[in-house]
């Protein structure tokens, strides 16, 4: 029997500053520039969509139901009243990169994440199980290790050429209006959406994904590289150095250029099992200071203890 062992890594930049973000333009991963950056904000029990870019879409301004998602606000998405429709432009070349942070109520059911539509038809679809290209009638299922997870960072890129330039839109969570498809409408939480009208490079993608992964307690298992990068492009968690501890990768820290200040975190694979919080005696956390922990991914068992001792856990 192997114990579940947590490995912690601390990355410290020599720069120090207070908790107020600098005056530089804040963008996830310091990547220019998303066409849409939509987050959840809350005031007590009231939750709202917040658009951080100037481009206009159909984004509800109504008060929403919400909940915490790794100590960050998240909207409980209701397709009966919620409407997130984002114009992608009128181009014969459709080049986009998309990130959605979501958590479904039931990961066994196939549910719509988004559809891309022109005025007459649905062009492509993503669910929590697969991608569908309706122009080619081709399907691409996600790796099995992603499907069971309720919480994920959905990532999608396209670089396609149409014969005629038409207005295309991205619709979040709802069924296609043009096609009768079997998946259900989305039921769960959505926390953050990023849309870029270009294909990000591998390094750019990893910087944005690292920001989202640290913020929402989601391991980067679905990306080609599991390494975590800060906004400066520096590696702050390297899988080659932690090959036996590459499960439930979780981090806390600060990155001013990304607007990231995540001082408390729990991995969403086993939400609430282990929560760590970053504090300092001075009350300040330096910019680009990170702490990571991870485990060996073995099955979890309750550990037998002597009478009177607290319950423990081990990994098989």
Given a contact cutoff of 8 angstroms between Cβ atoms, the answer to whether 153 and 40 are in contact is no
Integer Cα distance of 28 and 63 in angstroms: 25
Which whole number is the average pLDDT over 112-116?
95
In the predicted model, what is the mean pLDDT of residues 117-124?
Answer: 92
Minimum mean pLDDT range among 32-36, 162-166, 175-179, 201-205: 162-166
Q: Above 80 in pLDDT, residue 184? A: yes
Query: For the residues 2-8, what does the mean pLDDT come to?
Result: 49
For the segment 212-267, what is each residue's pLDDT rounded down to a tens digit? 999 999 999 767 778 999 999 999 999 999 888 888 899 999 999 999 999 999 99
Q: How confident is the model at residue 313 (pLDDT cuts 50, 70, 90)?
A: low
Question: Is the pLDDT higher at 26 or at 313?
Answer: 26
Residue 262's φ and ψ, nearest 5 degrees, are: -110, 100
Residue located via tokens 């856990």 = 313
Provide the residue ranges of all domains of the chain, joining segments of one domain with +.
7-24+225-304, 32-196
Q: Is the pLDDT of residue 108 over 60?
A: yes
Do residues 250 and 266 touch, judged by C-beta distance below 8 A?
Answer: yes
pLDDT of residue 310: 64
Q: b/e per residue, 152-166, with b = 16+ CB within 10 A?
A: bbbbbebeeeeeeeb
What's this model's pTM, rounded to 2 decimal places? 0.87
- Given this model, what pLDDT does residue 128 score? 93
Radius of gyration of the chain (CA): 20
**pLDDT attached to residue 314:** 63
Q: For residue 287, give the DSSP letter.
A: T
Contact 213, 230 (CB under 8 A): no
pLDDT at 257: 98
The first and second tokens of residue 14, run together, are 């020599």
126-148 average pLDDT score: 82
Cα–Cα distance between 303 and 186 in angstroms, integer?
38
Residue of higher predicted confidence among 33 and 308: 33
pLDDT given for residue 18 in this prediction: 43
Q: Model confidence over 6-64: pLDDT tens digits?
A: 455 544 443 334 444 445 789 999 999 899 999 999 999 999 999 999 888 888 888 99
Indicate the SS3 state at residue 258: helix
Q: What percent of the chain has pLDDT over 90?
A: 54
Lookup: tokens for 16: 């120090």
Question: Each residue of 265-290: pLDDT tens digit?
Answer: 999 988 888 899 998 888 889 999 99
- Read off φ and ψ for residue 295, nearest 5 degrees: -140, -175
pLDDT mean across residues, the chain: 86
Q: Look at phi and psi of residue 247 and say left if phi exceeds 0, alpha if psi is from -120 to 50, else beta.
A: beta
What does CATH list as the number for 32-196? 2.60.120.200
Give the pLDDT confidence score for residue 222 in this predicted structure: 64
């Amino acid at each position: 029997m192997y114990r579940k062992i947590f490995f912690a890594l601390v990355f410290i930049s020599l720069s120090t500053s207070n908790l107020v973000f600098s005056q530089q333009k804040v963008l996830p991963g310091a990547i220019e520039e998303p066409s849409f950056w939509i987050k959840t904000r809350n005031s007590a029990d009231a939750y709202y969509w917040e658009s951080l870019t100037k481009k206009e879409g159909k984004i509800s301004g109504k008060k929403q139901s919400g909940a915490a998602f790794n100590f960050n606000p998240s909207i409980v998405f209701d397709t009966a009243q919620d409407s997130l429709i984002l114009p992608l432009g009128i181009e014969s070349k459709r080049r986009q990169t998309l990130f959605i942070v979501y958590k479904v109520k039931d990961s066994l059911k196939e549910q719509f994440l988004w559809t891309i539509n022109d005025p007459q038809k649905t062009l492509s679809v993503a669910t929590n199980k697969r991608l569908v290209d309706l122009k080619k009638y081709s399907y691409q299922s996600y790796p099995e290790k992603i499907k069971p997870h309720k919480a994920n960072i959905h990532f999608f890129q396209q670089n396609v050429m149409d014969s005629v330039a038409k207005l295309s839109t991205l619709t979040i969570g709802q069924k296609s209006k043009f096609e009768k498809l079997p998946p259900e409408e989305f039921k769960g939480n959505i926390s953050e959406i990023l849309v870029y009208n270009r294909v990000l490079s591998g390094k750019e993608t990893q910087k944005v994904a690292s920001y989202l992964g640290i913020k929402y307690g989601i391991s980067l298992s679905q990306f080609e590289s599991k390494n975590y990068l800060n906004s400066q492009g520096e590696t702050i968690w390297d899988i080659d150095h932690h090959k036996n501890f590459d499960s439930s990768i979780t981090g806390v820290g600060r990155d001013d250029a990304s607007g990231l200040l995540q001082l408390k975190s729990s991995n969403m694979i086993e939400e609430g099992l282990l929560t760590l919080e970053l504090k300092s005696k001075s009350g300040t956390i330096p910019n680009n200071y990170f702490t990571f922990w991870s485990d060996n991914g073995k099955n979890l068992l309750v550990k037998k203890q002597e009478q009177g001792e607290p319950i423990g856990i081990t990994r098989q």
